[in-house]
Amino acid sequence: MSALVVAVVGPTATGKSDLAVELALALGGEVLNADALQLYRGMDVGTAKMTPDERRGVPHHLLDVLDPLEEASVADYQALARAAIDDCTARGARVVAAGGSGLYVRALLDHMEFPGTDPDVRARLEARVEAEGSRALHDELARLDPDAAAAIGPRNARRVVRALEVIELTGRRYSASLPQHVYEVPAVQIGLDCDRAVLDERVAARTRHMFDRGLVAEVEGLLAHGLGRTAARAVGYAETAAMLRGELTPDEAREAITAGTRRLARKQMGWFGRDPRVHWLDAQDPDLVGKALALVAEADAGRLGLATDDPAPRRSLGS
């Protein structure tokens, strides 16, 4: 039987990448990226992508595999990620996946259907977004598929369009194609959490660090070659581009990035918090690596149940 995949998940700025490297070093493993934006070449500072030195010699998979003009696809990611797992397994390397893109983590680990697309239907729906606004289409989605609407925010026009496209093409609710909490790739998920005030300060510090590391120059270089819709709308990149166009002052851009990253963290916590299989650890725990390794050992021995069975359930971001 292949070793369980170790997946380090949770909100941004909790230290998932650092923990993944520590676990890979301890387990003889390699890291598999599960962050949608870190798939893109050249999007390094704004995604907090680890530098080669920070990776400490641990091989990393699915970093820098897309041009920023390309659109990331969950279906493509699933195929590439599972091929990477097969490659690691064949070489006897433990896979440690890390990332905060919930849909990508689920596509990696769970059974997930990918209904087809129709460019004409999508173009018509996208035109409606421009004419009517994404909230109007979200209201329509709420009538057709309340579960999907509850999971997709009204500002997420891309996913609203996709949900309505699937409903029109299949005649089924979009939520029926979403993954259930049942592993297709056996895994143990370790979630990192910390209280809200601490996380908010980590996010603010990350924003300052990105500007210090050259976020503005990175965005200038990317804009010179063009950005696709996904890359251009990413937190950090959209606000910096607006600053470069003179629409925001530098201080306003920093504030907008920090606020946007905090909203993203809340969204990620909501996504992963609904999965009863995630075992939560305090990101500030001085024995974080030891406790994470203990969870892996328990899972490997078949003694780790659902997270709801844990004697010490996770702390909430609101605590």
Bridge-based pairing state of the strands 278-282 and 29-33 = unpaired
177 is in an annotated binding site: no
Tokens in use for 285?
């725990």
Which stretches does DSSP call E strand in the chain?
Answer: 5-9, 29-33, 60-61, 94-98, 187-193, 278-282
Dmax of the chain from CA atoms?
Answer: 57
17 is in an annotated binding site: yes
148 is in an annotated binding site: no
14 is in an annotated binding site: yes
154 is in an annotated binding site: no
State how far the Cα of 29 lies from the Cα of 144, in Å rounded to an integer.
44
DSSP characters over 183-248: BSS-EEEEEEE--HHHHHHHHHHHHHHHHHHTHHHHHHHHHHH---HHHHHSTTHHHHHHHHTTSS
308 is in an annotated binding site: no
State how far the Cα of 102 lies from the Cα of 277, in Å rounded to an integer.
13
Phi/psi at 200 (5° precision) = -60, -40
13 is in an annotated binding site: yes
State how far the Cα of 295 lies from the Cα of 291, in Å rounded to an integer.
6
260 is in an annotated binding site: no
Residues at the binding site for substrate are 12-17
Residues at the binding site for ATP are 10-17
Residues at the binding site are 10-17
